[in-house]
Amino acid sequence: MPRPGQVKQATDERLSDRIAIGLLTRTFPPELVDRVVEECGRSGQRSRLLPPRVVVYFVLAMCLFSGQGYEEVARLLTEGLAWARRWSGSWQVPTTAAISRARVKLGPEPLKALFEEVARPMAVESTAGAWYGGWRLMAVDGTVFDVPDSEENDARFGRPTTHRGERTAFPQVRMVALAECGTHAISRAALGPCTTAESVLARELFGALGPGDLLLADRGFAGLDQWRAASGGGADLLWRIRASAVLPVRRELPDGSYLSDIVAARDHRKRTDPAVVRVIEYTLEDAGRPQHDAPYRLITTILDHEAAPATELAALYNERWEIETTLDELKTHQRGPAQVLRSRSPDGVEQEVWGHLLVHHAIRQLMHTAAQDIDTDPDRLSFTRTLRLVRRQVTAQAAFSP
């Protein structure tokens, strides 16, 4: 009911058209959401209680408030609508069953398409920590999400086994992400069963790389086929490789690195189809635990030692850990520590993961803008504090178009 003395004006405006969730509707405006939904063939009647646009925003809010139930998330979406000026209608919060049906009807495709539409590297020339010379620093890595123990999820995603051969409690969906090191912006992602190797899923991401990118990766991605796929678009690479890998010295360079070549495992004897690489070897020393000193071997497509000296590339490889922090933001702080995704169907799981990626993108975009405004490194801003701010903003600004 309205406040005492408040007069509600007559209007034909539908309540679903007034749903707004602060940062998320600014980052993903209604016209963009409507276009993506239409292109995915999921458009529906606008007069329905849960039209596609509302369901997209619901999924985003569900991922922002991952610990809340369906109906509570719906209330957060429309908090304050009873008092909104010019609103004279009424809207019943949908039931959990109605929301579940609407999510099934929407499917994962619009969320995935929306992510692919907006997700890009964010760094500009002045962004601190995002560049090495003229190269934009990128990294690739993967993780898994626990999903509900349903027959459908088990069949689609599988579940790992313990070292004793026992099956784990939950199926898992694997995600491999390509992220910008300086801003933690995930620009591409690929999903698949937990039985699919990260290196296989990564192939879906390499098309987003091009000249001016420098991709950092751990030794799990090393291999000739991967190397050529990642560098095929003109990107440069700096990858760690196993200490046991055979790397013959072809020419020593003044900075201590040397030129070598890598071959496919099937060609390790004859080495008929090699790719030339530059090798950098060094050891990370721990004075407190000398027995744990770690030898590192890096290979790179940058063959000119003057353009990128070995000591600089060895120090630069530490930036690869930025993607580990990015995945921790996504899984631990945003989703919640040790939480299982809520969707019992594979399509729902994928929809939920794309929703989490979209929310993370919106938060990181806000953080980059704030860092630019005060001329600081985005790494100096707290993701957790920004997440709390966004959650407060959503509840304070719900129903008011940003």
pLDDT band at 56 (very low <50, low <70, confident <90, very high): very high
- The CA distances from residue 261 to 206, 241, 254, 268, 277, in Å, are 21, 12, 18, 11, 5
Looking at residues 112-122, what average pLDDT do you find?
A: 97
Specify the range with the lowest mean pLDDT, choosing from 254-258, 282-286, 321-325, 361-365: 282-286
Q: How confident is the model at residue 290 (pLDDT cuts 50, 70, 90)?
A: low
Dihedral, 209, 218, 378, 175 alpha carbons, nearest 10: 70
| Rounded CA separation 232/285 (Å) | 35
Q: How confident is the model at residue 68 (pLDDT cuts 50, 70, 90)?
A: confident
| Residues 130, 83 share a domain | no
Contact 57, 33 (CB under 8 A): yes
Same domain, 269 and 391: no
The answer to the question of residue 338 being in a domain is no
Arithmetic mean of pLDDT, 199-212: 96
Predicted confidence (pLDDT) at residue 48 exceeds the cutoff of 70: no
Give the pLDDT score at 400. 38
Task: Show Cβ contacts of residue 97 under 8 Å, excluding neighbours closer than 6 positions.
Answer: none
Residues 360 and 314 occupy one common structural domain: no
Q: Are residues 252 and 398 in the same domain?
A: no
The residue assigned the tokens 């520590």 is: 337
Which pLDDT band holds residue 23 (cuts at 50, 70, 90)?
confident
E-state strands within 153-309:
172-180, 186-193, 213-217, 236-240, 251-252, 258-262, 275-284, 294-300
Higher-confidence position of 94 and 342: 342
Residue 94 sits in the same domain as residue 208: no
pLDDT of residue 292: 59
Q: Which of 283, 263, 277, 284 is nearest to 305 (CA)?
A: 277
The total domain count for the chain is: 2
In a domain, 334, yes or no: no
d(CA 56, CA 42): 11
Block residue for tokens 């849960």: 50
Can you tell me the mean pLDDT for 206-228?
95
Mean pLDDT of 251-267: 92
**E strand or H helix that includes residue 56:** helix 52-64
Q: Which one is predicted more confidently, 174 or 294?
A: 174
Identify whether 340 is part of a domain.
Answer: no
**Average pLDDT of span 117-141:** 96
Q: Please, what is the angle between helix 70-78 and helix 52-64, to 10°?
A: 110
Looking at the predicted structure, is the pLDDT value of residue 334 above 90?
yes
Q: How many CB atoms are closer than 10 A to CB 241?
A: 21
244, pLDDT greater than 70: yes
User: Same domain, yes or no, for 114 and 143?
Assistant: no
Does residue 140 sit in the same domain as residue 272?
yes
Question: Is residue 3's pLDDT more than 50?
Answer: no
Residue pair 374/104 in contact (Cβ under 8 Å)? The answer is no
pTM, full prediction = 0.89
What are the tens digits of pLDDT across the range 76-104?
A: 776 644 433 333 445 567 888 989 999 99
Residue 212 in tokens: 């001016």
Co-location of 52 and 18 in the same domain: yes
Which of 36-50, 306-320, 343-357 comes out lowest in average pLDDT? Answer: 36-50
Asked which of 25-29, 328-332, 358-362 is least confident by mean pLDDT, the reply is 25-29
Same domain assignment for residues 133 and 221 = yes
Residue range 380-393: mean pLDDT, rounded: 90
349 and 375 co-located in one domain:
yes
Q: What proportion of the chain, given as a percentage, has pLDDT over 90?
A: 67
Asked if residue 129 and residue 41 are part of one domain, the reply reads no
Buried b (16+ CB within 10 A) or exposed e, 17-43: ebbbbbbbbebbebeebbebbeebebe
| pLDDT at residue number 62 | 93
Angle at which helix 52-64 crosses helix 30-39, to 10 degrees, equals 110
Q: Which region among 3-12, 89-98, 158-167, 265-274 has the lowest average model confidence (pLDDT)? A: 3-12
* Interval 40-61 mean pLDDT: 81
The residue that leads in pLDDT, 102 or 45, is 102
Phi, psi of 333 (to 5 degrees): -90, -45
Considering the domain boundaries, does residue 172 fall inside one? yes
CA-based nearest residue to 119, from 27, 199, 246 = 27
Residues contacting residue 276 through CB under 8 Å, at least 6 positions apart: 250, 259, 260, 261, 303
Closest CA to 356 of 380, 332, 338: 332
In this predicted structure, what is the pLDDT of residue 21? 62
309 in a structural domain: yes
Higher-scoring residue by pLDDT: 200, 292 = 200
Percent over 70 (pLDDT), the chain: 86
Quick one: pLDDT at residue 101? 93
Residues paired with residue 174 on neighbouring β-strands, in sequence order: 144, 192
- Same domain? 378 vs 392: yes
Q: Which of 84-88, 267-271, 297-301, 361-365 has the lowest mean pLDDT?
A: 84-88
Beta strand spans in 147-250 (E)? 172-180, 186-193, 213-217, 236-240
Structural domain that includes position 168: 122-327
